Structure 1
Amino acid sequence: MRMRAFRSTIVGLLAAAAALAAFPEDADTPTEGWNYGFRSVIDTAQYPIAQDKEGASGMSLEAAWKDIAHWPRLPSSGGDFSSEGRPDVVVGYIEGGVNYWRNGADQLIKKIYINRAEVMANPTCAARYQDNGDPWFNVLDFPGTPDHNGNGRLDPEDLIVECANGVDDDGNGYTDDISGWDFNNRQNNPHSQDVTYGHHNGQMLNGEAAINDGGTLGACPLCMVMPIRAGAEALDRTDDLAQAFLFAADSGAASIASLTADLGYSTFMRQAEEYLWRHDVLVAQSSNDFDSTDHQGGMYWPHAVAGNGVVKENEGGLPVPSCFPGSQFCVPGDDTTRTFRQRSGQTSWGTRHMVSVS
């Protein structure tokens, strides 16, 4: 019996080793290659413990913000400058969802991703479509849509209710995924019931969504944001989080900001990270080691850019030559300049900026 048990153990170990060996090794570069646009070089004399294993120093806020300093004031109707991003670029934001009632929702609504294939498949919604002249395909292109959530403004949640027809019109396996998805409750409205936390709205607003028309300036102000709810708030089941990552990538996100804490590890999550890497989707994830149940992917998954890998001006980076009214970048001593891996406690704050600049 002992010999049989020993043989069974050996067979099991060999099978596990074979499965591990069959999993593809990480390549030095993704299939298509990353193009950051702005490059910076680590000064190892100034930052002796800094590392750049994933080439993340290419996402240089230093270079980008020097260019931003020459911006004219940008109206919400457009603009085409090298550091702003593009209206066709989508950033997947994964956390606890979005709240269209408060916490900067008035600035968020025009920058929230709308799935054209799903919305335009509904004859009622398609008939309402009127290009409002701004660079984005957004909820403001559908005037006359009823205020279904009763918050007094036209927002993507109104489109979700109005345009849902019970059909998977784009054929991606998610019925009526009009503006993101909720993997916590497994439905098409990524609304957050939380009205006090406000973390998700603020991160989207300051990191990606805001536009310099008197509001807060984001790091990728022309980009769109796809809100994806992976959990009730930042704590997520690992398989739900993996599905959220795959959904974002397959829905066209160019990069993903994940401000989440995984409730466990899984092979599925590892495979999701690999899938994004091999499809040239950059992932920035929060990274704190709380030595607790909730783990954050930026500190252990290969190819994930760690959210606390941010160097602030008061830690030795170069200062931005100008600041902008209404922007957090005006705060003295709080200007992010580079994104290579130097110790920093700014994990959520850093994650949104790194993924935006990418």
Structure 2
Amino acid sequence: MTAIELKNVSKTFGSYTACRDVSLAIPEGEFVTLLGASGCGKTTTLNMVAGLEDVSSGDILMGGRRVNDLSPVQRDVAMVFQNYALYPHMSVARNIGFTLKMRGMDASEVRRRVEKVAASLELSSMLDRLPSQLSGGQQQRVAIGRALVREPKIFLFDEPFSNLDASLRMRMRAEVKELHQRLGVTSIFVTHDQEEAMSISDRIAVMNQGRIEQLGTPEEIYSRPATRYVATFIGSPRIELAPGIIEQSHGTAVCKVGSTAIPLPAQTKPVEAGRQVEVGARPEYVKLSDGKGVPARVRLVQPVGPTTHVTLDWEGGTLVSSVPGFVRLAPGTATYAEIDPSHLLVFDRASGERLS
């Protein structure tokens, strides 16, 4: 069953269009992330689903029912915000149970639900504390608990970890993913952090200029990006693309980058000779070599624990290679870069559409 469906949803603010023709169907129990840079429309889309923003055009359905004109309460959604939005004068227990109390629920039932949620989030020993006595990660768990205690049909997360330090963000990602695996509540998560999106999502909707540029699993988004924008937005370190032109060599299509001819992957769409393209490979498919591949020169070496990222200059521009372990290469060192042609990504230079 489809839990949430957006049909050609748009939102305008005066002459500015924040979202245009967004269509998305989310099955019950799925965890979908809206991913994109600031201003791409992801938070506006989430706010329309929540009922915090009106829809300019299009329809939002929940469980098959049109909800455009329903209030957030009537939609039975719970939202976790970036800034926690906890009541500073209330204890953890009172913060978590506040919405239940406001609904007039019996005090014993409120207490039962609060204690159950607190136990699941490892907050049982903190129920009497004030928010000021908690760490950032603990405060965010209280905010999640306040949403969870309502037992909603849908969870909405608006960049909930952006105020946390790196180690806490990683821990909270794991906690939210485990929580979703345990409860199976349909969830929409908004973030600009592509690593965060890749680690917790069933599917990712990459947004750009108010539209969904690609919707797919983390593997699909990373390995088979539909457009140049998705390819360069996803991945760390990012893929570097070089301008090229399609030529025929001995009856086989190749991409010519400067004087270098790179064979096209077997799965490349038919491309006519003379077509201008951009090509590149993810850093893990670029190997340093003693004599095979394209001549290159080391520009920058960045050890990051289990791998070393080596930035290279070559006639096509910039290339990045991810090498296992620690590599010691001085800037300016001459080397060769061997690009795995089976993992070459080819994009039409004009449209940005992937051809391979």
Q: TM-score, normalised by structure 1?
A: 0.31
Q: With structure 2 as the length reference, what TM-score do the two structures score?
A: 0.31
**Whose radius of gyration is greater, 1 or 2?**
2
The higher-RCO structure (CA 8 Å, 6+ apart) is 1
Return the structure number with greater strand share. 2
Give the helix-richer structure, 1 or 2: 1
